[in-house]
Structures are given as C-alpha cells and as structure tokens.
Amino acid sequence: MTQPKKLFIKTYGCQMNVYDSERMAEAMGGQGYVTTDSPDDADMILLNTCHIREKAAEKVYSELGRYKGLKTAKPDLKIGVAGCVAQAEGEEIMRRQPMVDLVVGPQSYHRLPDLTAKAIAGERALDTDFPEEDKFEHLKARPKAARGPTAFLTVQEGCDKFCAFCVVPYTRGAEVSRPANRVMTEARDLVERGVREITLLGQNVNAYHGHDGGLAGLIRELATIDGLERIRFTTSHPNDMDDALIAAHGDCDKLMPYLHLPVQAGSDKILKRMNRSHTAEQYLKLIERLRAARPDLHLSGDFIVGFPEETEADFQDTLALIEAVKYGSAFSFKYSERPGTPAAERPQMDEAEKDDRLQRLQALLTRQQRELQDAMVGREVTVLFEKPGRMPGQMVGKSEYLHAVHVSGASLARGDLAKVRIVSSGPNSLKGELIPGEG
C-alpha cells in the first residue's frame, strides 16, 4: 500500500493566513498529502508568509536557511513559499534561494497542485498572478471531517484604501467579495461538521459587497442557520462601518459584542499623512453610535507609533483618543518601512523615541485592558468551550466579549455553550463558575 506523502505548513501572520493554510492543505489533500506537525518527516514544506510585520522577508529567508540540511539529506523534499512575501518577492526568492522549488501568491494558491507537479518533475515553479478566476471555486470541497467549535471563513480579500504604510493593496490586490450564496454554502458545511462560531475574514471585511445588504445583510442571513450560535468579523475600516452594520450590532443576537476597528493614530495630521481618509473626531463619533446601538460593546484597535513626522503633540493626541475610547484589547507597533509604500520614502523617526512612545502607549492600553477585564468579575457571560485547560478537569473557552475563560470541576465538553459567572480576573484570562443547571 502506498504511503501518503506528508505536508508541513508553517503559517505566519493574520487569521486570513490561517484560513488560507487550511485551504492549501485541503487542496494538497486531493493530491495524496496528509499534514504533519514536523518538517523533519515532511515530503513538502510550505511557508505561508505575511508581509505586515517588520523584516518579514528576512525572517522567511532565515527560516528557509534552517531547512538547508533537510534538503541536503532528502533531495526529493519540495520546499515552497506562499502568501504575501511570495507575492512581493517571488522572483527574488527564487534567485536568493535555489533550494526553493515553488513560489505562489495568495491569489493563486488554488493552482498549488499544478505547481507541485511541476516541482516534482524538476521544474522550478512561480505563480504570483492575480487571476480572474475565483480561487475558492477551484479548490477541492472541504473534507467532511469533524471540526472544532470555531472556524474562520474568508468572505473578502484585498483593499482599495492605500494607507501610506500598508503593503496589502500590492500583495493581495483590489477589494474582491465572495458571492453570498457561496459563503452560505461553506458556512452550512462548517456547521454540519461541528462549528458553532464563525469569524468572517477580510482585509477590509466591512467593505464586503457580495450580498445585496452588504456585510450586515450577510450576517443576518448567516444568523438563520440552525446550529450557528455566534458570528464575528474582522478586520474593519472606519469608513465602511455603515448604518446597517451599526444596527446589526444592536439587534442581531448572534453577532457578538466585540469589534476590532483600527484607527492607527489620534492625530488628524498623522491620519492624513497615513491616508486614512477620516479624522479622530469622526472615529470617536462612530464609536458613540456603535455604543448607542450596543452599550456593552468591547472594542479592539490597532495603533502605529513613530510614523514619519509624528511629534510628541501628535502622540499625545493618540493617547487622548485611547483614553476616550477605553479599549478592551489592542495591537500596537512601532512604524517600520515597507518598501514600495509612500511612507517608506519619508524621513524616519529616531528608533529610541519610537521605543519610548510604544512603551508609554502599551502601558495605557494594558491598564485599560486590565480595568475592563477586572470589571467582568461578578458578571454572567456565555462561554463557548473549545479545549481542555492545563489543570485536570478544567475547560477553556471564549466569552461573547472574546475573553478567555476557564472553568474547573464542571461536566463540560468541547463545543458546549454555557452560562458562567466570573469569579476572578487573572493577567490573561478570567476564572468562572458554571451557573447551576448549565452543566
């Protein structure tokens, strides 16, 4: 009996890359590959890369260097690079790393089986096109294996905003939305296999236009699926948060009261230099409208410090915006140049000043996060349990606000949805007790 070939995928970056890796594994499953957790016994290694973080390309080259010995020991081992670094630097990767057999961009990974066949035949394969065909329609149907209680589902890709710091429009292309009927089919399939919560993904997900009612219309249609208990979406742009989506946060019970809505900065000067196309006041008024619709809404954001031309006064404006909003969680970074973006051509700030500002900003965000988490003590939340905890008899899951919650000594299983009373707050999670009658 022929042994199945083994595929090792290392995923970098955002949830969309996690979703893409799942689909690539499924595509290769149709070619007789099974996934493995170790590169050492793999017949094919695939790096699914992200270009958002600092020195992303160099980190990929460093990772590839670790596999040089494996490639020498196993000449038939195939090594591929996928994702946004592949899109941005495909030919350069081929030039710098002769050990790489194939490079495929994020819009072309449905062609991965054909590229693999070329590599096996001894031909180095490169595909970083933006094909006209819908890659999702060309992928093999998902296998019917059981799934965990949560899943990602990509509904939109690309971005037309062209923020001055961002490479996404160049690596993922223009905004494209999947038709609602195809999203619904995939969602029903996920629910049939045990999924109870779906997070809709997109580089600019609230620009989704594959449904007549936009993202709000898609969410409302998804809410009609029996067995689907929770809906989330990420990542959003303030300019595409329309009236219908705000209303959905108030009256769609399955849409969770958690929203990731990046602003990046609180200074109008810096927002303009970033090409964000909104002001700090417009963002704050949008938050007011969202909280009027859903008063218990927890907000998450993204912040960049040390953007070119940012003064201390500009930075203080960002701190003031954070104080006004009160975030439940946030991601914050020092600005770093991305070749080919407008901001990379501007005079750069001193790194020590960037470090100082990042530390001050993160201290404020950490304080806010802890205050909001501590305020959950005594409250009742609904938790979707996902996995066993570190302690015997412990289960861990997420509340509707995306807090990690652990419960011990209760009769709970993966996929259970139960009411829990929060009894204490730790650094990164909440401790809860099952409300009688829920277990």
pLDDT value at position 26?
A: 83
**Summary count for the chain: helices (H), strands (E):** 14, 19
Q: Is the pLDDT of residue 77 over 90?
A: yes
Confidence of residue 137 (pLDDT cuts 50, 70, 90): low
- Given a cut of 90, whether residue 430 has pLDDT beyond it is yes
Name the burial class of residue 251, with classes exposed (0-12), middle (13-18) and buried (19+) by CB atoms within 10 angstroms of its CB.
exposed
Convert 150-172 to b/e letters by CB count within 10 Å (16 or more is b).
Answer: bbbbbbbbbbebebbbbbbbbbb
pLDDT in tens, 227-248: 999 999 999 999 999 999 999 9
- Share of residues in the chain with pLDDT > 90 (%): 65
pLDDT of residue 305: 97
Structure-block tokens of residue 341: 């973006």
Consult the annotation and say whether 14 binds a ligand: yes
Using a cut of 0.85, tell me whether the model's pTM lies above it.
no
pLDDT at 327 over 60: yes
For residue 166, say whether it is annotated as part of any ligand binding site: yes
In the prediction, which pLDDT does 141 show?
A: 55
Q: Are 205 and 197 in contact (CB under 8 A)?
A: no
Q: Is the pLDDT of residue 2 over 70?
A: no
Q: Which of 8-22, 88-102, 104-118, 388-402 has the highest mean pLDDT?
A: 388-402
Residue spans of alpha helices (H) in 97-171? 112-120, 135-138, 168-171
Question: What's the rounded Cα separation, in Å, for the pair 295 and 15?
Answer: 27
252 is in an annotated binding site: no
* Cα angle value 15/19/22 (rounded, 5°): 140
Listed range (37-41, 57-61, 94-98, 429-433) with the worst mean pLDDT: 57-61
Taking 80 as the threshold, does the pLDDT of residue 130 lie above it?
no
Q: pLDDT class for 52, splitting at 50, 70, 90?
A: low
Position 347 pLDDT exceeds 80: yes
pLDDT interval class at 301 (50, 70, 90): very high
Give the mean model confidence (pLDDT) for residues 7-17.
Answer: 85
Band the pLDDT of 193: cuts 50, 70, 90: very high
Domains by residue range for the chain, with CATH: 5-127 (3.40.50.12160), 144-374 (3.80.30.20), 380-434 (2.40.50.140)
Please give the pLDDT value at position 358: 97
- pLDDT score of 107: 75
**How many angstroms from the chain centroid is the CA of residue 91?**
27
* b/e sequence 376-399, b meaning 16+ C-beta within 10 Å: beeeebbbbbbeebeeeebbbbbb
Kindly report the average pLDDT of the chain as a whole number.
90
What average pLDDT does this structure show over 49-57? 69
> Is the backbone peptide bond immediately before 235 cis, with ω within 30 degrees of 0?
yes
